[in-house]
Structure 1
Amino acid sequence: MNPTVIPALVAASVDREVGPRRPGAIYQNIDGRFEVLALVTDPREAAKLLRRDSARWAVIVRDTLRPDGQPFAIGSVWTTSDHLIREGKPTPVYVAAA
């Protein structure tokens, strides 16, 4: 496989996993209603935010149903149980080299 194709494949995979969660988006699932504050695609920073050994991305959200909702990082993939309420800014996914 051509080495220049690999980053594009990784970015496409991350884009599918993140779904429409771009800064400014609001989505809801069984856990709450969340505003997306940031999308982190630097693997080192994402792993640090998620307190994991490795991660390709992280989304920083705030639960809008809680008046005291504090921002926190998540790494769960977008599923059919997630429902987009408001679209975010059209931000392409760029994955930094690991």
Structure 2
Amino acid sequence: MNATVIPALVASTVDREVGPRRPGAIYQNVDGRFEVLVLVTDPREAAKLLRRDSARWAVIVRDTLRPDGEPFAVGSVWTVSDHLIREGAPPPARFAPAA
């Protein structure tokens, strides 16, 4: 298998797992309504934030239904029980345009 395919597979898996949770997005589920503050895609930083041995990504969110809502990291995948209320920033481009 070509080694250059692996990063693309990981990136597409991360995109599916994160779903539309980009900075600025607001989504809701049974646990609350959350504003996405930061999307962390560095696996080492994500694992540290989630206090796990490994992670591919983490999302730092704030519950907008709680007046005292403090930011916290989540690593749960996007599911059908999550509902997007407001879109966030578009995902970053994978490749820079040729000069």
Query: How many residue pairs get matched?
Result: 94
- For the 8 Å contact 1:62–1:69, the answer to whether it is kept is yes
- For the 8 Å contact 1:35–1:64, the answer to whether it is kept is yes
Partner of 1:20: 20
Shift of residue 92, structure 1, vs aligned partner: 3.1
Supply the distance in 2 between the matched residues of 1:93 and 1:64 (Cα, whole angstroms). 29
TM-superposition CA deviations, 1:35-62 (whole Å, max 9, x none): 0000000000000000000000000000
Ranges in structure 2 where 5+ consecutive residues have no aligned partner: 95-99
The residue correspondences of 1:1-98 to structure 2 (distance < 5 A) are: 1-92=1-92
Supply the distance in 2 between the matched residues of 1:39 and 1:70 (Cα, whole angstroms). 16
Partner SS state of residue 13, structure 1: helix
- Runs of 4+ residues over 3 Å off in structure 1: none
Partner SS state of residue 73, structure 2: strand
Tell me which structure has the larger Cα radius of gyration: 2
The structure whose RCO (Cα within 8 Å, separation 6+) is larger is 1
TM-score by length of 1: 0.93
Supply the distance in 2 between the matched residues of 1:53 and 1:93 (Cα, whole angstroms). 29
Percent of pairs with identical residues: 87
